[in-house]
Amino acid sequence: MSDFGFTRRRVLTGLGAGVCAMMLRPIAALAFSSSQAEALIHKAVDDINAIINSGKSERAMYVDFEKVLVRYADTPSIARSVLGPPARSASSGQLNAFTKAFQTYIARKYGSRFREFIGGKIQVNSSQKINSIYDVKCTAILAGEPPFDISFIVHDRSGKFIDLQIEGISLLKSERAEIGAMLDKAGGSIDKLTAALS
Amino acid sequence: MLAAHLSRPLALVALLALAGCSAAPGPDGINDPYEEVNRGWHDTNIALDKAVIKPVSTAYGTVVPDPVRKGLSNVSDTLGIPGVVVNDVLQLKLGDALHNTARFAVNATIGLGGLFDPATGMGLEERDADFGQTLYTWGVGEGAYVVLPVYGPSTERDALGVVVDIVLDPVGNLLGNPEASYKTGLKVADLADTRYRYSDLYESVLYDSADSYAQMRLSYLDNRRYELGTPIVAGAETADQTTTYDLYEDFYE
């Protein structure tokens, strides 16, 4: 019988959104610290906990979730990164449109897993600085399930999170593979990919 | 007798050590020289899921009540514990070996032959170990990514681990027929239960991804390396780990 190497731990949540690219430099100049990275994720997690226990409809939760992404994650950089090398030749208008479509797609895709999170919570445990990133380790505690590990990866350059790992599975890498495959299907056209996402 | 029993897997280990040494992951941390063959098996496995596994697990999940399914899965887990203890010992994790032995003793007795899991509530939670992990602690390389027929994603190291775990399993070796096939039946029921319980998740990856093969490969490798304790960004452990978060380097070129 196939289990395809899967368990429910590979449940997914979300990625991020952000600040205008040019704004990153001045922020980066400030020394970002481990405690700031933890504080950021504490706030993000509080917002997420409030959403999953708000009793709102799934649709309304997607909208709220997208707001959390925009606020705490660096979506323009994430969007650029998942596009890969084709992002270099794209115009800023194309990139902006793609970023917008991408963050809505992420909110919807991972937000649809929120049903499994209702009544649960995420707690922040500790953080660890590794080169220019902070790994903020959390535990997701869901009703009737063994707790599992999630990690927010915060970059000191943007002071926002750029990845979320669930039991080691990186959503950034996963979306790089997924968006790459979708771009191939769109014949390499970023405009067609953007249209397909929204 | 015992030596004869062990010589087979040990010969395989030696072979694998050679295979593991020759193979290095690419810049994305993925070593998949058999991609073409793997994709073929991936498609076959998906077809099998559609035709058999999904309908069977849906029927099992619908007909058999949840507590019964959970109980049978618990029995299957409990029967697997002695094999886990063997690996704990092979990895010299004697604390885990004792922990799991106590877990087995509690669940096999108070847990009514493993139907219930009172051990977890007593602080004797599940602590898994397998021969793929044992090989990792012995320093054997991961080898190439492989998709096994029916079983799904694996690596050369883990595929060998799966085979050796069957050979070394004390419960499997003790049981004659037909008890051994009951154990297999319980394992199948456990997998069907998992497939049913998390069907939304399976299906979003298997059927809604633009490239389900790439998604499975990435998820398997990420999760397995995490379980084994490979650091997420560690010096030059693999090229992948140093480039994953280089979002901003590229940005300011």
Cα–Cα distances in angstroms (integers) from residue A86 to residues A89, A193, B114, B133, B168, in the given order: 6, 12, 55, 39, 50
Q: Is some CB atom of chain A closer than 8 A to the CB atom of B184? A: no
Distance from CA of B3 to the nearest CA of A (A): 32
DSSP state of A31: P
- Intra-chain end-to-end CA distance of chain A, in Å: 37
- Nearest residue in chain B measured CA to CA from A145: B197
Q: Confidence class of residue A20 from pLDDT cuts 50, 70 and 90? A: very low
Q: Report the 10 Å Cβ neighbour count for B108.
A: 16
Asked if the model's pLDDT at residue A1 lies above 60, the reply is no
pLDDT at B112: 92
Contact A2 B151 (CB under 8 A): yes
Contact B201 A113 (CB under 8 A): yes
What ranges do the domains of chain A cover? Answer: 1-30, 32-197
Element (H, E) at A138: strand A133-141
Contact A8 B201 (CB under 8 A): yes
Q: Which residues numbered 175-194 in A keep a CB inside 8 Å of some CB on B?
A: 177-178, 180-182, 185
Share of chain A above pLDDT 90, in %: 56
Sign of the Cα torsion B49, B50, B56, B58 reads positive
Which stretches within A22-91 are classed as H helix?
24-29, 34-52, 58-72, 75-83
Task: Say what the ipTM of the complex is.
Answer: 0.80
pLDDT at B177: 79
Residues contacting B35, CB < 8 A, separation 6+: none
pLDDT at B40: 97
Contact A130 B231 (CB under 8 A): yes
Q: Confidence class of residue A25 from pLDDT cuts 50, 70 and 90? A: very low
Contact B48 A80 (CB under 8 A): no
pLDDT along chain B (253 residues), means of 10: 48 50 66 96 95 93 93 94 96 96 95 92 93 96 95 96 92 84 90 89 87 95 92 49 69 43
Query: In this predicted model, what pLDDT tens digit does every residue of A117-172 receive, in sequence order?
Result: 778 888 999 999 888 899 999 999 987 778 889 999 999 888 999 999 999 999 99
Q: Which CATH number fits domain A32-197: 3.10.450.710, 3.40.50.920, 2.30.30.30, 3.30.43.10?
A: 3.10.450.710
Bridge partners of A160, per DSSP, are A155
Distance from CA of A151 to the nearest CA of B (A): 10
